[in-house]
C-alpha cells in the first residue's frame, strides 16, 4: 500500500484517485475548489459517471479514500503525488500548463522527503522534463524527487471499467526506483495480466496524443465515408461492419454520426498539431481530421434544412445534449453547434437530456429545457436525435408522430431503421444510409 496524493478532483483525478484507493492504496484527494471537496466529504459527486458514487462511498468507508483542503499536509503525508489538474486549450489550441506548473511550485515549497511526482493530466511532449527543471530551479535536490508520466485512457461513461480493466498502463520514467514504486501502486492489475508499458518520459507523453488522435481519425474517416455513401447510394453501417471485421482495423470508433466532442479528442488533436508545429512539421492528417469533424457537426442542420428551408419561428426538439451517452459532459458537444445554428436561423429549441441539461445551460441559458423526451417532441416542427441514450432507442414512434406539428426526424446517431420510420409517415434522414425520398 502506498500513500498517494491526488491533486485535482475533476473527471480524471476523482476516477483515478478512487480507482487507486480500490487497489488498496491510501489516497487523499485535494482540490483548490473548496465546494467540490466539501461536497465530496458529504458524498456528493461533482460529475456523472456510472458506478463512481458507489465506488467512492465504498472506499471512503474502508478508510482508503479521503478529501482535504490542507495542501501542505496532503503533500507531506504522501509518497506519490499525482497531478490531475486542468490542462485546457489556449487561444491558439496549445496546452495551457499554468495549473501544472503552479502545482509543482507549491509542491516544492513544502516537500519534506522523497516524492514521486506523477503527471496524470494530458500535457504536451516535454512537459515532464520541464517539471523536473522547475523542481531543480526551486532548489529541490535531484535525489528528493522523481518524475513519471502516467497518461490516462479513460472513456467518459465507461471510466470505472477502463481504470479497473485497462488495455495497458503506460509508465514513462528514467528512474528504476520510480518505476518500481509505480508498479507497486498498480500491482492489483497484475492479477488480470494488464500490460505495463515502461518507456522513457517523452514516449509516454506521445503515446497519449497518438492514441487519441488515431481514434479521432477513425471517427472522422467513417463520417467522411458516410457522407460519400449518401452520394453513391451505399450504406455506411454495412461498410463499417465489414471494415470492423478486419482485425487490422477493428470495429470500435467506426460509428457514423455528427462528429466527436468531449474533453479529450478536440483538445488533444489540436494540441498535437501545435506540438508538430513547434517541432517544425505539419501534422497534415490530424489537421484534416479536425476540419472534417467541424464540418460534420453541421450535418444534422443541413439535413433539417432540406425539410424546413426556413427555420424562423419553427420549434426543434433536441434529444441529447452530452457529447456521448452516460455522461453529463457537453464540452465540444456537436449539440452545441446544432443549437447555435438553429437559433441563428431564427428557430426555437426545446431540449432534453437525462444528465446534461444543467451543463448545457451554461452555454444556452435561454432555450427551453424540458423534463422528458415527450415534452421535447410535443408540438415540435422537427426532432433531432443528437445523443444515443438508451431511452431514445425504443421510443413510441406512433405517439411521437401524433404529437408533433410535423413528423420530421433527423437521426444523427443512426439508431432507427429508416424504412420502418418512413413507413409510419415520417420525413426522416440519418447519417450515411440509404433513404427513400
* CATH number of the domain that residue 310 is part of: 3.40.50.720
Residue 337's domain comprises: 297-429
> What's the pLDDT tens digit per position in 124-181?
999 999 999 999 999 999 999 999 999 999 999 999 999 999 999 999 999 999 999 9
Are residue 141 and residue 235 in the same domain, yes or no? Answer: no
430 is catalytic: no
**Does 224 lie in the same domain as 118?**
no
Q: pLDDT by residue (tens digit) across 171-197?
A: 999 999 999 999 999 998 876 677 999
What would the DSSP string read from start to end of 32-66? S-HHHHHHHHTT--SS--TTHHHHHHHHHHTTSEE
Using CB atoms within 10 Å of the CB of residue 22, give its burial: 0 to 12 exposed, 13 to 18 middle, 19+ buried: buried
Do 51 and 193 fall within a single domain?
yes
Last residue of a domain, one of 288, 315, 345: 288
Note whether 170 and 89 are same-domain residues. Answer: yes
Residue 66, in any domain of the structure = yes
pLDDT above 70 covers what percent of the chain? 99
> So what's the pLDDT on residue 191?
66
Question: How many other C-beta atoms can be found within 10 angstroms of the C-beta atom of residue 316?
Answer: 27
**Measured distance CA(57)–CA(40) in Å, rounded:** 10
Do 47 and 105 belong to one domain?
A: yes
Determine the longest span between alpha carbons in the chain, in angstroms: 74
pLDDT at 437 over 70: no
Q: How far apart are CA 428 and CA 436, in angstroms?
A: 9
* pLDDT tens-digit series, residues 340-399: 999 999 999 999 999 999 999 999 999 999 999 999 999 999 999 999 999 999 999 999
Last residue of a domain, one of 235, 268, 288: 288
Let me know whether 302 and 281 are in one domain: no
17 and 134 assigned to the same domain: yes
What stretches of 280-323 show up as alpha helix (H) in DSSP?
Answer: 284-296, 299-307
CA neighbor of 286 nearest in space, from 206, 169, 387, 168: 206
Q: Are residues 106 and 184 in the same domain?
A: yes
Q: How many structural domains does the chain have? A: 3
Q: How do residues 281-337 score in pLDDT, each as one tens digit?
A: 999 999 999 999 999 999 999 999 999 999 999 999 999 999 999 999 999 999 999
Confidence of residue 20 (pLDDT cuts 50, 70, 90): very high
What is the rounded distance in angstroms from the CA atom of residue 78 to the CA atom of residue 27? 9
Amino acid at each position: 500500500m502506498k500513500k498517494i496524493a491526488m491533486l485535482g478532483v475533476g473527471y480524471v483525478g476523482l476516477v483515478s484517485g478512487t480507482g487507486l484507493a480500490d487497489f488498496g492504496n491510501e489516497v487523499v484527494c485535494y482540490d483548490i475548489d473548496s465546494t467540490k471537496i466539501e461536497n465530496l466529504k458529504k458524498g456528493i459527486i461533482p460529475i456523472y459517471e456510472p458506478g463512481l458514487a458507489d465506488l467512492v462511498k465504498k472506499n471512503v468507508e474502508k478508510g482508503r479514500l479521503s478529501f482535504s483542503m490542507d495542501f501542505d499536509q496532503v503533500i507531506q503525508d504522501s509518497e506519490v503525488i499525482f497531478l490531475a489538474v486542468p490542462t485546457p486549450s489556449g487561444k491558439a489550441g496549445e496546452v495551457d500548463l499554468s495549473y501544472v506548473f503552479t502545482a509543482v511550485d507549491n509542491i516544492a515549497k513544502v516537500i519534506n522527503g522523497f516524492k514521486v511526482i506523477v503527471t496524470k493530466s494530458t500535457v504536451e511532449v516535454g512537459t515532464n522534463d520541464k517539471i523536473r527543471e522547475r523542481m531543480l530551479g526551486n532548489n529541490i535536490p535531484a535525489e528528493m524527487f522523481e518524475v513519471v508520466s502516467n497518461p490516462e485512457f479513460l472513456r467518459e461513461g465507461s471510466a470505472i471499467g477502463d481504470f479497473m480493466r485497462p488495455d495497458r498502463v503506460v509508465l514513462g520514467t528514467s528512474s528504476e526506483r520510480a518505476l518500481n514504486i509505480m508498479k507497486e501502486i498498480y500491482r492489483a492489475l497484475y492479477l488480470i495480466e494488464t500490460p505495463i508499458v515502461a518507456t522513457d518520459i517523452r514516449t509516454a507523453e506521445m503515446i497519449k496524443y497518438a492514441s487519441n488522435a488515431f481514434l479521432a481519425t477513425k471517427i472522422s474517416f467513417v463520417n467522411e465515408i458516410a457522407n460519400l455513401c449518401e452520394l453513391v447510394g451505399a450504406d455506411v453501417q454495412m461498410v463499417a461492419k465489414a471494415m470492423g471485421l478486419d482485425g487490422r482495423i477493428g470495429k470500435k470508433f467506426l460509428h457514423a454520426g455528427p462528429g466527436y466532442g468531449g474533453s479529450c479528442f478536440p483538445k488533444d488533436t489540436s494540441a498535437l498539431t501545435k506540438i508538430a508545429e513547434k517541432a517544425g512539421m505539419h501534422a497534415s492528417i490530424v489537421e484534416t481530421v479536425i476540419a472534417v469533424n467541424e464540418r460534420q457537426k453541421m450535418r444534422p442542420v443541413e439535413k433539417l434544412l432540406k425539410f424546413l428551408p426556413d427555420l424562423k419561428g419553427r420549434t426543434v426538439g433536441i434529444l441529447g445534449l452530452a457529447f456521448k451517452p452516460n455522461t453529463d459532459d457537453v464540452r465540444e458537444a456537436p449539440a452545441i453547434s446544432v443549437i447555435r445554428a438553429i437559433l441563428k436561423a431564427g428557430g426555437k429549441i426545446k431540449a432534453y437530456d437525462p444528465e446534461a441539461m444543467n451543463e448545457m445551460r451554461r452555454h444556452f441559458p435561454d432555450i427551453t429545457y424540458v423534463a422528458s423526451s415527450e415534452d421535447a417532441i410535443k408540438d415540435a416542427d422537427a426532432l433531432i436525435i443528437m445523443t444515443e441514450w438508451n431511452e431514445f432507442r425504443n421510443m413510441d414512434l406512433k405517439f411521437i408522430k401524433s404529437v408533433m406539428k410535423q413528423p420530421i426526424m433527423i437521426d444523427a446517431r443512426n439508431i432507427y431503421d429508416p424504412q420502418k420510420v418512413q413507413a409510419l409517415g415520417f420525413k426522416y434522414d440519418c447519417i450515411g444510409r440509404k433513404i427513400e425520398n
